[in-house]
Amino acid sequence: MSKAIAPRARKVRILATLGPASNTPDMIETLFQAGADAFRINMSHGDQQSKVAVIAAIRSLEKKLGRPMTILADLQGPKLRVGKFEGGKTRLDHGATFVLDRSTAKGDATRVELPHREIFAAIEPGARLLLDDGKLVLRVTDHGLDRIETIVEVGGPLSDHKGLNVPDVVVPMAALTDKDRSDLAFALDQGVDWIALSFVQRPEDLWEARKLIGGKAALLAKIEKPAAIERLEELVEACDGVMVARGDLGVELPPEQVPPLQKRIVETARRQGRPVVVATQMLESMITSPSPTRAEVSDVATAVYDGADAIMLSAESAAGEWPVQSVAMMNAIGVSVEGDPMHGDRIHFTITRPDPTTADALAEAAKTIAKTVSAAAIICFTTSGSTARRIARERPSVPILVLTPKLETARRLGLLWGTHAVHTRDVDSFEEMVAKSKRTALRHGIAKAGDRVILMAGVPFRTPGSTNVLHVVRIVGDELKGYS
């Protein structure tokens, strides 16, 4: 009998972005061994063909290790940019008048092209326009169908095609660009597990992506626009998971507003039972340094204490000088925080009241019983993953072993707190379920002889959404006899 890979020593997941520093087969395996639970493919950089080998390497590692691997494809989304300047750059002075218009002529210190018709119709006097990741701030004084007049409130150098943010109004732009539709079709064809949609503002932004995905992947909404905060509950309900994308959120809002919003987004996602990822600049200094700042360590720890499902590395693992060390450090922080005796109390500051369903009642009961009888694990059978999500929402004190006959489900659970998913054959009877649960728990090192485990499943079997059984069993020493 070959020994299966044991679950992580922590329950929070690590999502590592792959890029030039980490996209070879050997590096991907090294990152997994260092602690990466899922891999992010950023569709904003490089062409589609360059992603084929990366995805193939992840799937090859999955086969080699016998562990489901999670792949998230992050779509670029609509990027607002200004046009070109004479000489490639200019300077805007504080208090000066600056115009954005539809003319394709090269700009100067008084005007520049803005090739986005939607903004002219949506903008209002008094609204802010942020340039170059918020380094420059313009205030709108007047506007028409092809002209926006502004006063420069924060000046500075400005060059060709710098980004533009419009934080104060909802711009009626489709969340999916032509590039996104092409990248989405490519990602689905490659068999990725999650699709991340950028710059979501309204639930309607998710509908087209949901339709195009057609159930082939889970949909994650990136919360990075002030307009998204206003409809947060609706957005979380309309997707399968959310990301606290603190980069653009911190550009369009004062930075001091981001921490409380992060907690609000995490809490909302947890209450609704959606996986939530905290992202951006978590270990930023490790792009060039082998060790993080103490403030960065505290930032990552805060996300773990708040009960986030996953914490993400961006450039640290994609393009930095220390990708393996970045993953190892994030792993070490997660292990340390979850080893704090106060961790269990802190993650339950968020109250997750169960819905009036049998499945939710059993998930809540499983958490309580596990603590009362000192169970080693909660084990669930699931086809869609919904039972695992219900249990994870309760943040039990023990690991969650998930058995599923669908490989796609096992892969998607790589972003879910506390879960260790195993792809296995389905069961036909209650007795077979009990026996398979015990064997799998032993093989994966989740339990040992003499331990109690809690089983959750739905009877009749192979009926999604029918969770109605909770069973406590004790593992004996000969469970693995006769199996190889």
Q: DSSP strand E in 175-309: where?
A: 194-197, 218-223, 241-245, 276-279
- Mean pLDDT of all residues in 355-382: 91
User: Can you tell me the distance from the alpha carbon of 129 to that of 108, in angstroms, rounded to the nearest whole number?
Assistant: 17
Structural domains in the chain, sorted by start: 13-77+175-341 (3.20.20.60), 86-165 (2.40.33.10), 358-474 (3.40.1380.20)
pLDDT at 426: 84
Residue 1: pLDDT above 50? Answer: no
Residue 355: pLDDT above 80? Answer: no
Angle at 351 between CA 349 and CA 353, to 5 degrees: 165
pLDDT-above-90 percentage for the chain: 80
Name the band, by pLDDT with cuts 50, 70 and 90, for residue 484: very low
Catalytic residue of the set 280, 382, 387, 409: 280
pLDDT at 482: 42
Are the CB atoms for 345 and 48 separated by under 8 Å? no
pLDDT at 437: 92
**Is 231 one of the annotated active-site residues of the chain?**
no
164: left (phi over 0), alpha (psi -120 to 50) or beta: beta
Using one digit for the tens of pLDDT, what is the confidence trace for 74-93?
999 988 999 999 999 999 99
Enumerate the β-bridge partners of residue 476: none
Question: SS3 for 265?
Answer: helix
Higher pLDDT, 202 or 468: 202
Q: Burial, 228: exposed, middle or buried (Cβ in 10 Å; 0-12, 13-18, 19+)?
A: buried
Using one digit for the tens of pLDDT, what is the confidence trace for 383-423?
999 999 999 999 999 999 999 999 999 999 999 999 999 99
- Mean pLDDT of all residues in 326-349: 95
**Is 481 one of the annotated active-site residues of the chain?**
no
- Mean pLDDT of all residues in 189-204: 95
**Is 59 one of the annotated active-site residues of the chain?**
no
pLDDT at 430: 83
pLDDT at 431: 87
Catalytic residue of the set 81, 135, 216, 271: 81
Using one digit for the tens of pLDDT, what is the confidence trace for 427-482?
888 888 899 999 999 999 999 999 999 999 877 766 666 678 899 999 986 555 54
Average pLDDT over the chain reads: 93
Using one digit for the tens of pLDDT, what is the confidence trace for 225-263?
888 999 999 999 999 999 999 988 888 888 899 999 999
CA 391 to chain CA centroid, nearest Å: 19
pLDDT at 479: 58
Catalytic residue of the set 40, 202, 225, 436: 40
Residue 163: pLDDT above 50? Answer: yes
Residue 96: pLDDT above 50? Answer: yes
Name the band, by pLDDT with cuts 50, 70 and 90, for residue 350: confident
70's CB contacts (< 8 A; 6+ apart) are 37, 38, 39, 193, 194, 411, 412, 413, 414, 415
* φ and ψ of 463, to 5 deg: -120, 100
**Is 387 one of the annotated active-site residues of the chain?**
no
Catalytic residue of the set 11, 111, 222, 436: 222
394's CB contacts (< 8 A; 6+ apart) are 352, 363, 364, 366, 367
